[in-house]
Structures are given as C-alpha cells and as structure tokens.
Structure 1
Amino acid sequence: MFKVGDHVVYPYHGAGTIKDIEEKTILNEKLNYFIVFFPLNNVTLMLPENRIKSSGLRKIIQPKEVEDLVMALKPSEVASKKDAAKPYSKENETLLKSGSILDAAAVISNLTSKEEGRTNGLHMEDRKNLDRAKQFIVSELMLVKNISEEEAYQFIDEHSQGA
C-alpha cells in the first residue's frame, strides 16, 4: 500500500504527495484516510483506505519510464480534414480519467496533430482537454524529474512538436 511521503497520482487531479494517514470514526466505523496534497492545484484530498484500489491512485512513474512518455508524446498522423472538424472530447476525457500518464500523452499527441491539421486551431473542448493533459503530466514530471513547473511544460513542448 502507500505510506506518508509517497508521491502518487490520482486520476484527473495529477500528482501529489501523501502528507498523512489519519484514522477517523464515521458512523461508528473506524477507517484510515490518506491525506494527499496536490501542489500544482494547491488542493488536499482525503481518500478512504477502502476506496484506494477503485480510485485509481497509483505511485508516480519511475525515472526510467520517462523514455516511454517521450515516445507517447510524439505527434501521431495528422488528423484528416474530416476528423479535424469534430471534437474528440469524450474519448479524450476517458483517457484523462484513466490516470495513466501514457494516456494523457496520447491526448497531447492526438490534439497536437489535430491542431496542426486545422487552420483555425482547436475546438474549445479540445483546447481544454489539451491543457488538462499537459497539467496532469507536468504535475508528475515535476516529482519524477525534480524540475520546475516551467521546465516540465518545456519538456512536453519539446517532445510533442515533432522536432
């Protein structure tokens, strides 16, 4: 399981740190709660121990897995004009809710390619999902690579532009 000080990722919230584990009694039932702080959003959540597995909470990736992230960020085939016209919001939201850094990278890759295929940029929903995906990865990269938020955004931009 997890312990205080572990860096974890919570789907749709990004990466944070377990700050404490508190025992609480609610409706005559004692339960441990994991107190997780997400620095990028400045949010603290209390997650009950009995829901940890189903919540999708996981440890951050290992530094050696960053290369897999780099590969996943590379732009995919440019979206066809037909596909470029419709937003991918449902598919992208499903990927973002998975809590997988590689799924978030796929959202960035797909939307970056789609944006290149459009003359007037992305739909508002696609833009929102692109921003969410970047923020999700930034929060994890900051902890994995011990870098600043700005450096994490630069990392994503460098590897998702097809340079």
Structure 2
Amino acid sequence: MFQIGENIIYPMQGAGTIKAVEEKEISGQKQLYYVIEMAISNMQITIPKDKILSSNIRPVTDIVELNHIIQVFQHEQSEEVLPWKQRYTLNTTKVKTGSMQDCAEVVRDLSRLKKEKALNTSEKEMLDHAQKFLRSELKLIKGITEDQLNIFS
C-alpha cells in the first residue's frame, strides 16, 4: 500500500516517513513490517504490513482537501461549550482519528475558547499536541503557501 520514502500520517503521532519494509520472524512466523520514522518524536515505529489499514495510517492530505479544511476552520461555528471533561473526551477522540479535519476542529475550538477564558492544563496540552500534529502534516503538503501554513498557529 505505501512505498519506501512515502510520507504518511499516523494518528496521535503526526507525520512520518516509510523508511523500509522488513521481513521479521516472530514465533516461527515470517511477516512483513513497515518501518516508519516519525518526524515529531524522532522515533521509529514498526507495524505489520497486514495491520496497516486497521492502524488508520493515511497518506498526507492534498492541497485541495487542505483548502476545504481551512474554510471549515475559519468559518464554521465551534462546538457548543461543554463541561471541560466532556470537551476533553470529545477532543481526545477527534485527535485519535488522525483526521486533519478533526484535528483542525480541536485547534479551532480550543483556540477560540482560550480567547474567552484560560484553558486548564489538560486542554493547554491538548491544544499544543493538536497544533504540533497539524504542523507536522502541513510541512509535507505540496503547494502549500506560507499563509496557509500559519493559519492553524
């Protein structure tokens, strides 16, 4: 599915690059594994090739989809204000999907909330993580402008 050298997005981890496909023998069974080098954490992750689809790893978003996400980010209403525990659970679920759209919504909603009142420590960390996740992908999108790159900051 993915090729060596291809950039991917791994939910909760951000952008990475397929560095190799290796065959390993575990418990007497040979299996192919993707070796992925993660950009944010500078670590390597190894995933069985037959588990790659269930891991929600996906290709980098293209510029057309990014333009749609920017429109939603700038013009859609934020989620209704929920109690912070419910909001945190909802935002955690969104970030775990690995979807750039969901992650952008978390950044949008927490950034808007931050302008109204101070975020608690958990939500500050969530906002920081979601922004890092977005930036790691934005840097890889072909044709992105400097203005588009800075929208989610």
Asked if the contact 1:8–1:17 (Cα under 8 Å) also holds between the matched residues in 2, the reply is: yes
- Structure 1 gaps, min length 5: 158-163
Asked if the contact 1:79–1:113 (Cα under 8 Å) also holds between the matched residues in 2, the reply is: no
Matching of residues 107-126 of structure 1 within 5 Å: 107-118=106-117, 121-126=118-123
What is the CA distance between 1:73 and its match in structure 2?
A: 2.4
Q: Percent identity?
A: 30
What is the CA distance between 1:84 and its match in structure 2?
A: 7.0
Give secondary structure in 2 for the equivalent of 1:102: helix
Deviations 1:95-154 (A, max 9, x none): 000010000000011111211222xx111111111111101111101111488xxx94x3
Matching of residues 9-158 of structure 1 within 5 Å: 9-74=9-74, 77=77, 83=81, 86-87=84-85, 88-118=87-117, 121-145=118-142, 152=149, 154-157=150-153
Shift of the 84–113 alpha-carbon distance from structure 1 to 2, 3 Å rule, reads: farther
Give me the TM-score of the superposition, normalised by structure 2.
Answer: 0.87
Moved more, 62-71 or 8-17: 62-71
Asked if the contact 2:8–2:18 (Cα under 8 Å) also holds between the matched residues in 1, the reply is: yes
One-letter amino acid of the counterpart of residue 117, structure 1: E
Aligned length: 149
Give me the TM-score of the superposition, normalised by structure 1.
Answer: 0.82
Give secondary structure in 2 for the equivalent of 1:12: coil
Aligned counterparts of 1:20 and 1:9: Cα–Cα separation in 2 = 16
In the TM superposition, structure 1's runs of 4+ consecutive aligned residues that sit over 4 Å from their partners are 75-80
Deviations 1:39-90 (A, max 9, x none): 222111001112111100111111222202212322654777xx37635211
- Structure 2 gaps, min length 5: none
One-letter amino acid of the counterpart of residue 143, structure 1: L
Asked if the contact 2:23–2:30 (Cα under 8 Å) also holds between the matched residues in 1, the reply is: yes
Aligned counterparts of 2:46 and 2:97: Cα–Cα separation in 1 = 20
Q: More helix per residue: 1 or 2?
A: 1
